[in-house]
Structure 1
Amino acid sequence: MRRAFVLLVLAAAVLLVVIDRTLTPLAPLRAAGSAVFGTMENAIGAVTRSVGGEQRVRILERENAQLRADLVAARQRPGPSARGVAAHVVGFGRGRQVTIDAGTGSGVERDVTVLNADGLVGKVTWAGPATASVSLITDAGSSVGARMAGSGELGLVTGGPEGLRLSLFDPNAPLKVGDRVLTLGSAGGRPYVAGLSIGTVSAIESVPGAATRTALVRPAARLSALDLVSVVVPEPER
């Protein structure tokens, strides 16, 4: 019964499109179309949810996360082949670390990049058969090579109690609040691939006579509310 209802609604929608494009414009109907199709979508949504819609959404989200990492890996070429693995954060460890539900069985290894839809999350520091530990970029031991999105100036982003701190190698480099900070990239793309958003400059520190120019950075990824992440892993050798 539910399947027949969904098919009926879809058939009606297709019929309207065919008439509109081949016979006569349906401009007057479009005025009310939003309400009509909104009702149809709600009905379809209710049916879909009742037959496992939430599970399907979760599967699609995981596939999107994998594709996201695949695209990131593809941009690193030429270089070692890599692919994406999707995972969910399932726990929190000591310090600024989280546990994900993917491990060596999925190809996850130590010292590979972890990201989400917003930007860089961290790197894998330990991998078991089915889970792995991820050190966040805000961890006190974290150090990420950085490049400013606008000027191209190089620097280093480190984690600590205050969050992320950017140190530019040129103490006279142009810098302002709101500037975007990207990953410089590591040799072979490990532990960090290039071109990911680390965050934006939130405050500039003034230290007379300092050898570098420093600033605080707001992470692009919401590290306190992580769920679905993507891991860039090396392709197995053939």
Structure 2
Amino acid sequence: MRDTRESRLLLVLLIAIAFALITVDIRGGEESPVDGARQAAAAVFGPVENGVAAAVDPVGNAIGAVRDSGERHTRIAALERENAALKAKLGSDDRNRSRLHELDTMLKTAGAGQYGIKAAEVIAIGAAQGFSWTVTIDAGANDGIRRDMTVLNGSGLVGRVTTVGPSTATVLLASDPDFTVGTRMEKTNELGFATGQGNGPLLVQLLNGKAKVNAGDRLVTFGSQAAKPFVPGVPVGEVIRVDPSGGGLTRNIYVRPYVAFTKLDIVGIVVQAPRTDPRDMVLPPKPKPAPTVTVTVTPPPPEGQQQAGEQPGQQPGRQQQPGQQPEQGQKPENEQGD
């Protein structure tokens, strides 16, 4: 429509009519003269409004769903964090129990050998292929750790300290090929030298080539001068194989170490040696074998053979009781023959 004087007059007239109708409708109340026109308009435009609402409602529902999904996602994320925290707590409790058990067994070992120890945690492990078998512990010179101190745990000999820093130290493990320690056999006291073989058992050369050794025999450390680098009596391992004696000056045996070198966690550095050699006192007691029950079956005597204590003419396995009447054809014991 062009903006002319006539169009402006028409717009003003329509606005005036609209205000007049609004005034009449308000004053008429429930009996408004325009109520019929309103109902007719509702009948005409109501289906259109419902269709528009039906088309718009999914969009509104989607918007609400997105908003609610955000709240649900936040709640799910919170639950996941709670579950993760609970699992971490349970895991840490299991780990703490395991470490407390390790610490307890180590303290018992130290108490049996009268070793003064400083507890430490393994915080790093060296490469096992082509390099030395070493671990790093979180104790150093500030904690009184010095070079050439014996390192043990609840199972036995771990190694010796080789390098010391202010707050950390390096331990050469007994499994390292460059590691050598003097050993003593349990009970027989046969001496030898154990050398690491990486993942394999320890190789022990006994000084006595004719020494009698059996699988299951156990060894402890012999000890060093001034208890450095090794204190005496620390469990080393158990014999698993013995080379045949070839008449040489020494004899080789193979020993499974007590310590699992790939599972080290809590260790103890011996900062004070025992006053006397504990020898075999630190070794755990050997399990006692279960008793064997022997059943002896006594076979019955051959037919016709008289058992001891039986009277002639008495049935085998039966004895005549005092006062009992003899069977037919049998005379009383006190009756004299003619």
Matched with 2:177 is 140
SS in 2 for 1:224: helix
Paired residue for 2:122, among 62, 79, 89?
89
Matched positions, count: 180
Matched with 1:4 is none
Structure 2 gap ranges (5+):
1-85, 274-338
Q: Deviations over 1:40-75 (max 9, x none)?
A: xxxxxx9xx79x967975885686477457536636
Greater C-alpha radius of gyration:
2
Identical columns (%):
37
SS in 2 for 1:160: coil
Output aligned runs, 1:105-184, within 5 Å: 105-161=142-198, 162-184=200-222
Q: Deviations over 1:156-188 (max 9, x none)?
A: 111135431111111111101110011111122
In the alignment, the residues of structure 2 paired with residue 63 and residue 137 of structure 1 have an alpha-carbon distance, to the nearest angstrom, of 20
Do the aligned residues in 1 keep the contact of 2:107 with 2:154 (CA within 8 Å)? Answer: no
Report the AA paired with residue 122 of structure 2: V
Matched with 2:256 is 218
Q: 1:201 to 1:60 in 2, by over 3 A?
A: closer
Q: 1:62 to 1:198 in 2, by over 3 A?
A: closer
Do the aligned residues in 1 keep the contact of 2:192 with 2:205 (CA within 8 Å)? Answer: yes
Report the AA paired with residue 219 of structure 1: P
Structure 1 gap ranges (5+):
1-45, 76-82
1:200 aligns with 2:238: yes
1:188 aligns with 2:226: yes
In the alignment, the residues of structure 2 paired with residue 99 and residue 88 of structure 1 have an alpha-carbon distance, to the nearest angstrom, of 8
In the alignment, the residues of structure 2 paired with residue 62 and residue 211 of structure 1 have an alpha-carbon distance, to the nearest angstrom, of 40
In the alignment, the residues of structure 2 paired with residue 172 and residue 55 of structure 1 have an alpha-carbon distance, to the nearest angstrom, of 47
Higher relative contact order (CA 8 A, sep 6+): 1
TM-score by length of 2: 0.48
Taking only aligned residues, the RMSD between alpha carbons, in angstroms, comes to 2.7
Q: Deviations over 1:103-157 (max 9, x none)?
A: 1111111100100101000000011111111001111111111100121111111
In the alignment, the residues of structure 2 paired with residue 168 and residue 225 of structure 1 have an alpha-carbon distance, to the nearest angstrom, of 29
Matched with 2:114 is 74
Paired residue for 1:100, among 125, 132, 137?
137
Do the aligned residues in 1 keep the contact of 2:103 with 2:154 (CA within 8 Å)? Answer: no
